Amino acid sequence: MNLSAEEEKRIFGFLQQRNYCLRCCFRFIGWHSPECFQNPFKFANSLGYIAAENTSSNDEKPCPACLGILQKPMQESVIQKIQAEVEKQNYDSETFITALTIPTCVGLRERLLHMQCSLELGLSENTLISLKTKIQTIKDIWKLVVIPKVEQAIKKKVDVTTPSAFLIEIILSYKYNEKECEVLLSKYKGTKNVVNKRKRKFNDTRFSKKSIETLMTSITDEEFTEYFKDFSLETTASADVENIMCSHSSIFVGGRYNKLSRELSQTPWFINGEKKMQTSVQDILCNPIAEAIGAQSIKFLSSGREDVDVRNIHSGRPFAVELINPRISKITEKALSDLVDKINHSSQQVQIASNLKVLSRLDLKTLKEGENVKTKFYRALCICRNIPKDTVPLEKLNDLKRVQIVQKTPVRVLHRRPLSPRIRLIYEMRARWAKPQELKTLLNTTNEDASVFFVLDIKTQAGTYVKEFVHGDFGRTKPSLCDILNADVDIVALDVTGINLNWP
């Protein structure tokens, strides 16, 4: 139902006489035209709602409906604070979006105002329903009026269609918010047992928008009016800017790395709160990237992980870095190339083995799914004790294909993983006796007798515990290399030589 011009003018006059701002007067009678909110005084004058000689814009006092949020003084204050915060944080994004949080009590005030209009003006039920359904929200009008001014102030364009990755959050508060919400909560609590039964649920969030809206849908207009019969909508206080927060969506950068040390953990290693190693793969890779991009923090993601004493060589392990709240979003190929050079020159323990790339969410899905579907290649230096070399049937290993093994959770990781058996495939193996010079490459020594060592190249399903496949882990892996060779076999050194994943 549309209001007649006479009804609109009568309601408009009723609101204006009670010091409601012109924008709230227009939104309460259901106007949606941008012109009436961008220049409300001129528009109201053209309609004959206010006299031309009336120079007052009702901005001298806080509007009882929007608590000053749609009035000029508040708008100017918000824009200045947004500009100051954006300049301080120095994000390079050329676009932005906003999120406005307004006091919860605004919803109470709007409903009470509708009821007062209905009672004092004798509005019909259909007219009241029309007013309620057609009212423009404060947030919509605020964005219509204020966002263009914010664009000018911070020299960035709003982009809600893509949407922009740069978010400006404006949190507005009102010092009497809890007091006004308490009127509803206390009245409702006194008349409805259901709130007493759910008291715990409302303990921490009872003044939240969701909690108040839930309560308001549970009561009638008559009950609501009764609860607030002694409440005055007039106020001398306006809303305040509680906080302006800027943030940027995460950016992901990834590539492949080689770990060349047998004394380096993948992530920082803490025991009882104490860092046990000076650095880690994560520190070496991520810290320079986070510093260059101006990230607030990082998350390190990789396709599996190697043990402290295991190297990762040749093609490298796929990894990604989530750069949380980065200041720099325009990342060029040259910048990424410079980061590769910087990281590789800074450490002999870890080297980036590919180009770095800015990743998409789809790329990350590939990294995650690869944990279960990829195949991996290893080279292990094994030792065969107490048995003459000529009696060890190494050639037998070369003929085995798709060996299925069952592995219980290894003893070494039981403290952090549940005890459960897993079935894995050993796709193929190649074994040969070690050459003396290989001991230096794999073991960093030439003092050992090479005749007791053999080199095992192995292709496995992702998630295979290779060390345990070699030595059996006290019978927890079946079959193991010890079972197959019928010999006492142990692993001395292990390298990851390939991870079969299309990355990056």
Contact 136, 32 (CB under 8 A): yes
Q: Which helix (H) or strand (E) holds 137?
A: none
Cα gap 500→504, rounded to integer Å = 12
Cα gap 10→431, rounded to integer Å = 95
Tokens, residue 71? 């009035």
C-alpha torsion sign, points 8, 10, 11, 12 = positive
Task: Provide CB contacts within 8 A for 268, sequence distance 6+.
Answer: 275, 277, 280, 282, 283
> Apex CA 90: angle with CA 87 and CA 92, to 5°?
125
Q: Which residue, chain included where needed, has tokens 């001298």?
A: 60
- Residue 305 phi/psi, 5-degree rounding, is -155, 150
Cα gap 246→98, rounded to integer Å = 9
Known active-site residue 483: no
* Catalytic-labelled residue, pool 92, 221, 240, 307: 307
Task: Provide CB contacts within 8 A for 333, sequence distance 6+.
Answer: none
Cα gap 376→311, rounded to integer Å = 14
3-state secondary structure of 340: helix
Cα gap 77→58, rounded to integer Å = 17
Contact 392, 487 (CB under 8 A): yes
- Which residues does the annotation mark as catalytic? 307
